[in-house]
Amino acid sequence: MTLHPEFTEDGSMVYVSDWTGNVVRVYDATTLEKVAEVTGVTTPTGIFSVERRHEQLGH
């Protein structure tokens, strides 16, 4: 089951968590080509961009 797609701040890459596969895949957001894979992550629930920490809720 894949969930929680998260784009990089510049929108060039997207991280996708695969909960059942215990992996996070990184794709080029334009070509959708897989560029990286992080394995051995126990149930990766979400990837959260640190660039968006300055956002305030309710705007």
Share of the chain above pLDDT 70, in %: 76
Q: Say if 19 falls within a structural domain.
A: yes
Q: Say if 54 falls within a structural domain.
A: no
Question: What token pair was written down for 34?
Answer: 């897989």
Number of domains in the chain: 1
Q: Say if 49 falls within a structural domain.
A: no
Question: What token pair was written down for 30?
Answer: 């334009």
Question: What pLDDT does 3 receive?
Answer: 80
Structural domain that includes position 13: 2-42
Q: Say if 35 falls within a structural domain.
A: yes
Confidence of residue 25 (pLDDT cuts 50, 70, 90): very high
All residues at 6 or more sequence positions from 40 whose CB lies less than 8 Å from its CB, including other chains? 22, 23
Q: Say if 59 falls within a structural domain.
A: no
pTM summary value: 0.75
Q: Say if 18 falls within a structural domain.
A: yes
pLDDT at 30 over 70: yes
pLDDT at 6 over 60: yes
Q: Say if 52 falls within a structural domain.
A: no
